[in-house]
A and B are shown apart, each in its own frame.
Chain A
Amino acid sequence: MHQNRPRFTRIVAAVLALSTTHLAMAQTQSDLHRDAATRNVGNDAFMMKYARAFYCNLPDNNNAIVIAARATNSVRIPLTQIFDNVWYVGSRYVGQYMIKTDTGIVQVDAGNNAAEMQNYNYPALQSLGVSASYPLKAVLLTHGHGDHDGGAMYLRDNFNPQFFLGSGDLGSGKPYSPTPIDSTDLSMRQLSIGGMPITVLPTPGHTPGSTSAVLTVKDGGKDVKVLINGGQSMTSSIPQVAQYLDSIERTYAMAKATHVDGVMTPHVYWDGSQIMLDDVNARGRTSPSQFIYGHETVLRQLAVARECSAAWLTKLDATAVLPVWRVNTIAFLGGNPTPNKVAAKLQNGWGALASQKVSFSVPETGASCTATTNADGVASCDIHPLRPHKDKVTASFAGATSAGFVDLPAETTALACSNGNCKTN
């Protein structure tokens, strides 16, 4: 029996090797991107349960979760304050955000229908102080589907705000006469919407006129940037899904450039916002707000969305070969930065990232050094001067692109340590 063991082991190894080879060969482009979406989630169980599941519902062949979510369109969530100056009103499926400014209210989206506006939004606006001198000034419509502009005529007739809608969704005309946002100009730009500066980005794909935005709200008295997604869910049309993918990539670039920390999603089931709303209603708004996910988490979610889009596009179009986006993290090794040496590890859901440049810097003094990661993903170099417990050291990876991967940038900052005594910010 023992004599047969090595032979048995070899056979098992051969079978496993063949199976692995077969699996590797069988992995389609779509599978590759679905897997990447999962790996990019990291250890975030909440993102796995919501954003990963919903963004990937089509390539996962799991559209049932979206259909089930739609059944909650009539289940209301009470008017909920999510920031100092922002309230959510809507159902567990879709809702609107009301933003109080110095001169009036700006609303995002216009609900399913007139009855909903009359029964819920009208009282909500009244409770927020809408009057002739404090009007509903403007409504930014994320896109022109009926669950986002179905109540626009009611709002026009009762409050007469200025509506903003991506020109791609005007079709043969909308009865509430919106001000068009040029959907053919895909650049990010700032508009004054009801007197509020809002950065808009046309993001066609869900509809031709979908528009995403970044705006500044108040949380605990501080300014924070939040992202409004222009429209989730994909069709089964190659051109539209290609647009959607491109839009997600540009949204990522916008969120990074504007340093977004939070998200306000009209479809609150999509990223788990409804759970956050429940939490606010159960135990009050936390500090920071439950809707502040943190910059890295927002970018991670968008990277997951990008991989889900790539997974669906490559399922619809077998000719498409797309690089995989990888979310990277960089972390100082334990005990570092030390007074004269800094070391950080660069890794992602696939493992350590070798042969990549990492820059260390102390912005206050201008001290810096650059090192290349070894096989374990560790980069280390000497940096002078470095004042323990005084200097904040930033380690940054600028990102890299190869034929198969787009490695996304990563950055972290920590207070310089002394003899293993570290305090991180």
Chain B
Amino acid sequence: MTMPTRRMDTLGRRLRAGVAIAAGCLLGAAHAAKWRGGDEAGPDYVPAPRSALVGRQDLPFRLAQEQRGESTVTILAWQAAGGQAVPLSVMALSRSRNGTRLSVQRLALPDLAKKEGGDLDVATLEYLYTLVLRQDPEAQYCLADVGQGCDADPYPYSHAGMLLQLARARQHAVDSAGRPGASVPWQLMSLAPTEMPDTDPDEVGIRISGEQGPMAGLTIFFNQAPHASCAAQSTADGLATCHLVDQHGDDDAHGHSKAPVLALFPGDIRADRVLLPTTLVLNAKP
């Protein structure tokens, strides 16, 4: 039935750049180790899309994506002008009946990059935070430092937990760089579930806190598959609640969804401080 497939190379090239930041770009830890020394054939790198979270915007990051068996690998690399791309970190995504798993394998910094001092390490973690934020909030995560691997089963971190690990690793890198004040301070944010009335399953809420306690005036987005959502501003006690609305449903789809509700704080990035974006998965009410 299917006629010979006609593909457009140009679309393919555009696509490779686009999918690097899209969901489903990751793989299993077993493949991560292979990238320690890079691929001899050389993956097809494209300039990494900008992230407002990265302090050193001048550092030449590149991304490549490849399919390895059932897994999808995204490689974050550093590439000096005229030089070859050197992998800094490998993210691997795999899906199974047990769910989606994502590993992030950190690699040793290349000798060529040492002139950047600790900045490259800091920026790499900042970029990793961005990449992980864009992944599936319901996935299980693992972070492996240089020389370590992701052998844990199940992967130990939730999406928010993984982001927290990256933020801590970034703070460690900032401290190690020994240049106090050179990096914008990151404030960890956390979302916590809160008691909601059982009478309305579409009424959702969370409590948002910073390092000093509840945070007011921040926007939280809630999403429930297939397409219900709402947004709320946090009150003085950090409480953000709203009523899920089916954005685009059909007449037969007004039943209560059993899908989990995903809460998202998109972050607030300013020149002098960063409130880190984070997520929380809330199980659907019975």
Chain A interfacial positions (CB closer than 8 Å to B): 29, 58, 63, 66-67, 70, 73-74, 94, 112-113, 145-147, 150, 162, 179, 186-192, 197, 199, 206-207, 232-240, 242-243, 245-246, 249-250, 253-254, 257, 315-322, 403
Contact = CB atoms under 8 A, between A and B. Distances in A.
B11 A254 contact: yes
Given A145-B226, A317-B134, A236 B231 contact: yes
Contacts of A147: 249-251, 253
The 4 closest A-B pairs by CB, nearest first: A239-B23, A147-B250, A318-B267, A236-B223
B96 interface: no
A246 B22 CA distance: 8
A117 B250 CA distance: 15
6 contacts: A63-B247, A70-B248, A187-B8, A187-B12, A236-B222, A320-B49
B7 A238 contact: no
Contacts of A145: 226, 248, 250, 253
B262 interface: yes
A67 B15 contact: no
Interface residues of B, number: 54
Interface string B1-36: 111111110111011001101111000000000000
A361 B248 CA distance: 47
A318 B247 contact: no
A403 B269 CA distance: 19
Given A188-B7, A318-B277, A235 B22 contact: no
Contacts of B222: 236
A333 B161 CA distance: 60
A113 B129 CA distance: 44
B50 A316 contact: no
Secondary structure call for the B interface: loop
A319 B277 contact: yes
A249 B52 contact: no
Nearest to B12: A187
Contact of A238 (B8, B51, B264): B264
Contacts of A317: 133-134, 266-267, 277
Given A147-B250, A189-B6, A190-B6, A243 B22 contact: yes
Contacts of B133: 238, 317, 319
B1 A192 contact: yes
Interface of B: 1-8, 10-12, 14-15, 18-19, 21-24, 49-53, 129-130, 133-137, 221-223, 225-227, 229, 231, 245, 247-253, 262, 264, 266-269, 277
A192 B2 contact: yes
Contacts of B227: 206, 233, 235
B251 to A, nearest CB: 6
A146 B253 contact: yes
A319 B250 contact: no
A7 B83 CA distance: 58
A290 to B, nearest CB: 25
B10 A257 contact: yes
Contact of A253 (B11, B226, B249, B250): B11
B5 A236 contact: no
Given A145-B226, A317-B134, A319-B51, 15 more contacts: A113-B251, A187-B7, A192-B1, A234-B247, A236-B223, A236-B229, A239-B136, A242-B134, A246-B15, A253-B11, A257-B10, A316-B221, A319-B267, A319-B277, A320-B52
Contacts of B252: 112-113, 146, 150
A320 B2 contact: no
B19 A246 contact: yes
- In this complex, the member of B1, B49, B136, B245 whose beta carbon has the largest number of chain A beta carbons within 10 angstroms is B1
B49 A249 contact: no
Contacts of B15: 186-187, 246, 250
Contacts of B23: 239-240, 242-243
Nearest to B219: A315
Contacts of B223: 235-237
Contacts, number: 159
A234 B226 CA distance: 10
A239 B269 contact: no
A73 B251 CA distance: 8
Nearest to B54: A319
Nearest to A321: B50
A253 B14 contact: yes
B250 A146 contact: yes
Given A235-B223, A319-B277, A192 B3 contact: yes
Q: Looking at B6, B14, B266, B277, which has the most chain A CB atoms within 10 Å of its CB?
A: B266
A190 B3 contact: yes
B245 A319 contact: no
Contacts of A199: 6
B5 A239 contact: no
Contacts of B129: 319
A235 B277 contact: no
B24 A316 contact: no
B86 to A, nearest CB: 23
A242 B131 CA distance: 12
B251 A321 contact: no
Nearest to B134: A238
A320 B12 CA distance: 23
A188 B266 contact: no
A254 B14 CA distance: 11
A316 B266 contact: yes
Contacts of B19: 186, 246
B157 to A, nearest CB: 17
Contacts of A191: 1-3
Nearest to A69: B248
A320 B3 contact: no
A70 B262 CA distance: 24
Contacts of A236: 221-223, 229, 231, 262, 264
A230 to B, nearest CB: 13
Contacts of A73: 250-251
A253 B11 CA distance: 7
A187 B11 CA distance: 7
Given A239-B22, A250-B14, A319 B3 contact: no
A89 to B, nearest CB: 16
